[in-house]
Structure 1
């Protein structure tokens, strides 16, 4: 693939709307905030995050639990320091039972009408690999991850008819 074709593909890719590539909600890891922590742990065995919504009917995004949050959930808490929120409150040892008690409430989101370039810029700015896609009322509509963006870009290149090969690559 020539450089011009690759640039044309990248421009087309950057201008695509997130709604064109986000997976259906049925394929996403989602729990209601009153779900058991055990349900979150079951999902986190195979996924890197769980989106938390107020309920499945309204789908208002209220939090996220990430894979590495499992440390706080399963480990005995350290002493709380004054002025800080202790992991104690996000621990089974601290009495937490529901997803809503352990989730991170500050979720990085992006609007559903944003472009792929908007998502890439936000991911780079905040050094994250995934964003929740929400509507103007904060309802979860999808997710966009770096893995999904890579897959979609490679798909776009294949649809163009040729596969791009790096110059100087040892693979033929």
Structure 2
């Protein structure tokens, strides 16, 4: 299999075939305290927030860079007109649970979408990770790292060689 054939096969793969199990994903429930969230974010670039483990209904995402807003005092976010929504995401501004600081509009993609669909969405929104959903339910995630790993696996399995 040459690289072109491997890419063609890769692009047509369904996300359901390559997403890791949710047990391998960084997930907290909406009522998780922020210290638990920070502990996850020490080792991960994001954490998914779900309503509860039974429904797995996606509430939002907290990204590594969001930690800055969590740790800053509320007055660091003020504009002349008063408080901003970011000031409410500060520990000192009253944020206590994961749902208080989560971005409520995470980028999602359906599990029957293809790798090509995911790559196009990532490029369009300059995102490195997408929540894979079935309706409102979080069923997985797809990241650039996962896509790179899968492409390299395909090349090894197919014996493809890079040509200069």
TM-score range, shorter chain: over 0.9
1:7 aligns with 2:26: no
Per-residue CA shift, 1:58-85, capped at 9, x if unaligned?
0000110000000001111225233873
1:101 aligns with 2:100: yes
Q: What residue is the counterpart of 1:149 in the other structure? A: 147
Give the aligned CA root-mean-square deviation in angstroms. 1.5
- Please, what TM-score do these two structures have when normalized by structure 1? 0.90
Structure with max Cα Rg: 1
Aligned residues: 162
Preserved CA contact (<8 Å) 1:80 1:86: no
1:27 to 24, 27, 35: 24
Separation in 1, partners of 2:47, 2:5: 35
1:42 aligns with 2:39: yes
Unaligned stretches of 5+ in structure 1? 168-172
Unaligned stretches of 5+ in structure 2? none
SS in 1 for 2:70: helix
Change (3 A) 1:153 1:84: farther
Measured after TM superposition, the shift of residue 88 of structure 1 is 1.3
Taking CA–CA contacts closer than 8 Å with sequence separation of 6 or more, which of the two structures ends up with the larger relative contact order?
2
Change (3 A) 1:84 1:20: farther
1:17 to 14, 20, 44: 14
SS in 2 for 1:100: helix
